[in-house]
């Protein structure tokens, strides 16, 4: 308190309140900061992560069962099981919140996917043509499944894209890619997705050496040849899955790995028929 010219003034200390500072409670304990994580928020985050892992587990289990049914039951199951499973998984993850862009099916990435797909097609066509022309690699194309040109055309234009390429890419580079990316990011997709894609081809590689003259000459047709064919197929398809996944990430679209996948299978089937025709 001060007195000047008969006027009494009261001097009080001026204080400012920091909106970010903790406000003391009546017992002297500071109140929680606004950025404090409430236990309920933490529980919701943990529940969200659990849902992501459950989605991944469901996708993997469905793919494993689909593979077994397709290869170890009836021929008709082999035709419809994989496409049906791919569509079912797509509907499942869409209902769980995965967007079209996460699945590689967003419209904004179509142009990029087409351009990368055309580049992949041109590259594969060049490599396959060279392999079919070189004497020491030509026997690798002598696959019994494509001994006739008409059979190779039907396989490359209908069976391979509808029964193999599109369903597999939709399941692995679409559904599984999107689910894994939410849990572990792109590195997790590269590692886990590529490895699972290699394991996916174990059943289909059981008769690899028996149905291919080139592989039979190198590996033999006995148990060693069968096991070597399986291991080689798993390694090769896991590496292919790595490339498909990179292309999917690079282009942002499922169209690019679909084009590359079909080029490897479809052009390979046509080349096999041409090699058979030239050898007969």
- Comparing CA positions, the residue from 200, 245, 201, 205 lying closest to residue 229 is 205
Predicted confidence at residue 41, as pLDDT, reads 66
Predicted confidence at residue 50, as pLDDT, reads 85
Predicted confidence at residue 278, as pLDDT, reads 85
Higher pLDDT, 163 or 215: 163
> Is the distance from CB of 234 to CB of 198 less than 8 angstroms?
yes
Range list of β-strands (E), the chain: 2-4, 7-9
Question: Best-predicted range by mean pLDDT among 23-37, 193-207, 224-238?
Answer: 193-207
How many residues are recorded in the chain? 280
Q: How far from chain centre, in Å, is Cα 166?
A: 12
Residue 251 pLDDT exceeds 90: yes
Residue 26 pLDDT exceeds 50: no
Three-state SS for 27-72 is CCCECCCCCCCCHHHHHHHHHHHHHHHHHHHHHHHHHHHHHHHHHH
Predicted confidence at residue 7, as pLDDT, reads 46
Question: What CA–CA distance (Å, rounded) separates 63 from 6?
Answer: 93
Predicted confidence at residue 17, as pLDDT, reads 41
Longest dimension (CA), the chain: 125
> Is the distance from CB of 225 to CB of 140 less than 8 angstroms?
no
Higher pLDDT, 216 or 52: 52
The verdict on pTM exceeding 0.85 is: no
> Is the distance from CB of 20 to CB of 32 less than 8 angstroms?
no
- In the structure encoding, which two tokens stand for residue 52, read together? 């992501």
Backbone φ and ψ of 8, nearest 5°: -95, 125
Per residue in 55-78, pLDDT (tens digit) is 999 999 999 999 999 999 988 888
Predicted confidence at residue 174, as pLDDT, reads 97
Predicted confidence at residue 70, as pLDDT, reads 93
b/e code 211-244 from CB counts within 10 Å (16+ = b)? ebbbbbeebeeeeebbebbbebbbeebbebbbeb
Residue 29 pLDDT exceeds 50: no
Higher pLDDT, 147 or 44: 147
Question: What CA–CA distance (Å, rounded) separates 263 from 21?
Answer: 63
Average pLDDT, the chain: 84
What percent of the chain has a predicted confidence (pLDDT) above 70? 78
Residue 276 pLDDT exceeds 70: yes
Predicted confidence at residue 49, as pLDDT, reads 76
pLDDT band at 35 (very low <50, low <70, confident <90, very high): very low
Q: CB neighbours (10 Å) of residue 251?
A: 24
Which residues contact residue 159 at a Cβ distance below 8 angstroms, ignoring those fewer than 6 apart?
Answer: none
Question: What CA–CA distance (Å, rounded) separates 182 from 193?
Answer: 13
Residue 172 pLDDT exceeds 60: yes
Residue 161 pLDDT exceeds 70: yes
């Amino acid at each position: 308190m001060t007195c000047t010219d008969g006027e009494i003034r009261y001097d009080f200390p001026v204080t400012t309140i920091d909106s970010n500072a903790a406000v003391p409670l009546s017992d002297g304990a500071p109140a929680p900061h606004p950025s404090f994580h409430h236990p309920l928020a933490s529980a919701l985050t943990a529940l969200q992560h659990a849902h992501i892992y459950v989605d991944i587990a469901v996708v993997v289990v469905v793919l494993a069962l689909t593979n077994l049914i397709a290869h170890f039951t009836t021929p008709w199951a082999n035709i419809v099981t994989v496409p049906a499973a791919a569509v079912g998984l797509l509907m499942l993850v869409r209902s769980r919140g995965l967007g079209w862009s996460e699945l590689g099916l967003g419209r904004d990435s179509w142009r990029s996917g087409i351009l990368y797909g055309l580049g992949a097609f041109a590259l594969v066509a060049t490599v396959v043509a060279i392999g079919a022309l070189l004497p020491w690699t030509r026997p690798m194309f002598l696959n019994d499944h494509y001994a006739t040109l008409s059979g190779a055309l039907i396989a490359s234009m209908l069976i391979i894209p509808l029964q193999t390429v599109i369903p597999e890419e939709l399941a692995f580079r679409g559904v599984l890619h999107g689910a894994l990316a939410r849990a572990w990011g792109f590195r997790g997709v590269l590692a886990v997705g590529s490895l699972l894609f290699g394991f996916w081809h174990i059943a289909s590689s059981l008769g690899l050496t028996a149905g291919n003259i080139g592989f039979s000459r190198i590996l033999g047709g006995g148990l060693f040849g069968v096991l070597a064919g399986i291991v080689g197929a798993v390694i090769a398809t896991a590496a292919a899955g790595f490339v498909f996944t990179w292309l999917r990430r690079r282009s942002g679209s499922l169209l690019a790995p679909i084009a590359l996948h079909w080029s490897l299978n479809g052009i390979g089937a046509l080349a096999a028929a041409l090699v058979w025709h030239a050898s007969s």
